Every structure is written in C-alpha cells, then in structure tokens.
Amino acid sequence: MIKRIIVFLLLVLVPYGAEAADAIVSSTAKKLLEYEFELAKTEQLYAIIDLKAKVIRVKLKGLLLESYPVNDVRIQGDYLGMQMDVLEEKVQFTQAVGRPEIKPGVTKSEDVKALELADMPENYLLRTQEHADISIFSQTTEKGLASFKHHPLTWNLITPLQILQHVWKKERFTAIRLLMNPVDAQALFWHFSEGSVFIILSPE
C-alpha cells in the first residue's frame, strides 16, 4: 500500500515540478527577449551580465559582438532577479584614465597621445542607477588601493557597511564582485560609458 502511494505521488508531483520549472525558465527568457527587443530599436551598445553562466555579453541590436568570461562571482545585498539598469558612474581604483589638459596655441599635437585599450584600468567600479555596485577586478599582482579592495576579506568587511547605509536610507542595494582576466576587464571598461544599459541576470 505504501509503495503504491509513493508511486502515485511521484507520478503526480514530478511532472508538476518539471512544468513549474519550465514555466519559470520561460518567464525569464520572455522577459529577457522583451528587454532586448526594446534595446534593439536603438543604436546603443548594451551588456548582458549573466551571473549564473559567469559571462558578460556585449551586444548591439541583438547581435553578439563580444563575450567576456567571469572567473568568480560574489554577491551581497538585495536579491537581484532580472533587471535592466543604467550605468551611472565609473569609478577607478587606480590612477584615472584621461587626456592631459589641452591648451589652444600652447599644447603641441605630438604631446597629445590617443588613449588605447592598454591605457584602460583593470580594477574599477560600475555604479548603476538602481543601486547596484559592480566591482571589476583582474587577476593581477597589482599593489596599492586596487589590491587592498581586491582582497575577499576586505570586500566582505566593507560591503555590509554599504548595505547598512542603504538600509538606513530605505534604498535597495546590491554589491557584485567580478573577477576577470586583465585584458577582458580593460575591454569592458573601454566599451561602456555613463548612460550605457546593462541587463543583469541573477545566479539563481
């Protein structure tokens, strides 16, 4: 009798669970398609930050231009789900990238160097309008402030304080830490400026 009950439950509950899981996946995929459909109407680059697959995809009009692997993901703060967000600020942990001041009639053309990919930082913060701080770190032996912030223990200590600050303000806040290869981290910084759009996919 007990065996019959177990078999009956398996026949009833397992298909239901599978259908429920498929429904969740379908809902997520549909939402992603809706986001991309809207972005495809523009001429703007956008990135899909897939925290589950550990990859960042750079796209334009739905076409994949670049794909950057993420070696490690850490998250603290509010649950993300799936959200479309806008890059509000890029904060560099090391010396800022920029051109020297150009003075008309004084600065010579040979003194002005065009910025290249190699000039981009490997460690930086991408801060979004919806209060998500995405810290990008590269696997280098760089010393100084970047190395200090890169240490997992330091990040684990600083982030809860940031979360408390946003809780006090009654704001959502999510801190994301991504570890990438140096060249990929530089390329990501090169691609996007303030106002760029990110679609962030939760690892769950």
pLDDT along the chain (204 residues), means of 10: 43 44 63 89 91 94 93 84 89 64 49 68 89 84 54 69 76 87 92 91 83
DSSP H or E segment with residue 5? helix 2-40
Q: Please enumerate in sequence order all residues whose Cβ is within 8 A of that of 156, keeping only pairs 6 or more positions apart, or say none.
A: 76
pLDDT value of position 27: 77
pLDDT value of position 6: 41
Strand bridging mode 174-180 / 72-77: antiparallel
pLDDT value of position 184: 94
pLDDT value of position 14: 45
pTM to 2 decimal places:
0.73
User: CA distances (Å), 53 to each of 82, 151, 156, 200, in order?
Assistant: 14, 23, 23, 12
Closest CA to 89 of 49, 51, 124: 124
